[in-house]
């Protein structure tokens, strides 16, 4: 396990991953609104089926072609979303193939997101830079404040990137761990790109060999 929080450019991972948690807290006190093209109830499986779902709560918006839920009681329910799943959370935008959500006490406790890959875009307030991330799977323990990226995971901002098979981020401690499987081909890769103006420093005279002895 490699600790990389000291190697990353300032704000790269913190800006990306602390944003959803900060945005969710006040929204969870607001009403939850479900808008769907159609819905039906499967009594045998005790599941509600929604087509063309859009679920909103404050600034949080979740859309999917299909959704199955164990009930409308957000005090305790689980949701399975599939087909063109889109999350919008303030400056954050997530697109994925499927997601499993667990609601408890009207709060989203756990979200497991999958894609090929799932893509993430976040923009810090007051900044023109966008942070990009992708992975095949994301497990977000909202209550514990820990996010796990798995499967060709990478986070990029301003040309700087960290990539690994698995990335684990602790929001409260602002610590990132890049985890390898032990396979020699599975290594942590950190790429730093110099800013465009890095070459604008003072010119260094070339040594023409004629300098006085």
Chunked into runs of 10 residues, the chain (213 residues) has average pLDDT values of 41 39 56 92 83 89 94 88 88 88 85 92 73 88 79 84 83 68 73 74 55 51
Instruction: Note whether 86 and 95 are within 8 A (CB).
Output: yes
At 151, give phi and psi (nearest 5°). Answer: 85, 95
pLDDT at residue 1, rounded to an integer: 43
pLDDT at residue 117, rounded to an integer: 95
Structural domain boundaries in the chain: 2-29+50-194
DSSP calls for 65-129 = EEEEES-S-TTEEEEEEEEEEEEEETTEEEEEEEEEEEEETTEEEEEEEEEEEEEEEEE-TT---
pLDDT at residue 46, rounded to an integer: 77
pLDDT at residue 58, rounded to an integer: 82
What dotted CATH number matches 2-29+50-194? Answer: 2.60.450.10
Structure-token match 């479900």, residue found: 34
pLDDT at residue 2, rounded to an integer: 41
């Amino acid at each position: 396990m490699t600790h990389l929080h000291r190697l990353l450019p300032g704000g790269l991972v913190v800006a990306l991953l602390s944003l959803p948690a900060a945005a969710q807290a006040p929204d969870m006190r607001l009403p939850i609104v479900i808008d769907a093209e159609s819905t039906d109830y499967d009594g045998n499986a005790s599941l509600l089926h929604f087509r063309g779902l859009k679920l909103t709560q404050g600034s949080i918006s979740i859309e999917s072609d299909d959704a199955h839920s164990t009930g409308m009681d957000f005090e305790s329910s689980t949701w399975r979303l599939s087909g063109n799943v889109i999350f919008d959370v303030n400056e954050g935008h997530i697109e994925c193939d499927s997601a499993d959500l667990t609601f408890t006490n009207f709060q989203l406790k756990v979200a497991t997101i999958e894609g090929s890959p799932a893509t993430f875009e976040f923009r810090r307030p007051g900044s023109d830079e966008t942070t990009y991330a992708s992975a095949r799977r994301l497990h977000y323990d909202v209550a514990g404040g820990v996010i796990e990226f798995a499967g060709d995971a990478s986070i990029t901002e301003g040309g700087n990137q960290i990539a690994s098979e698995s990335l684990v981020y602790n929001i409260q401690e602002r610590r990132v761990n890049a985890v390898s499987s032990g396979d020699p081909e599975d290594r942590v890769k950190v790429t730093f790109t110099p800013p465009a103006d890095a070459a604008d420093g003072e010119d260094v005279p070339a040594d023409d060999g004629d300098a006085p002895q």
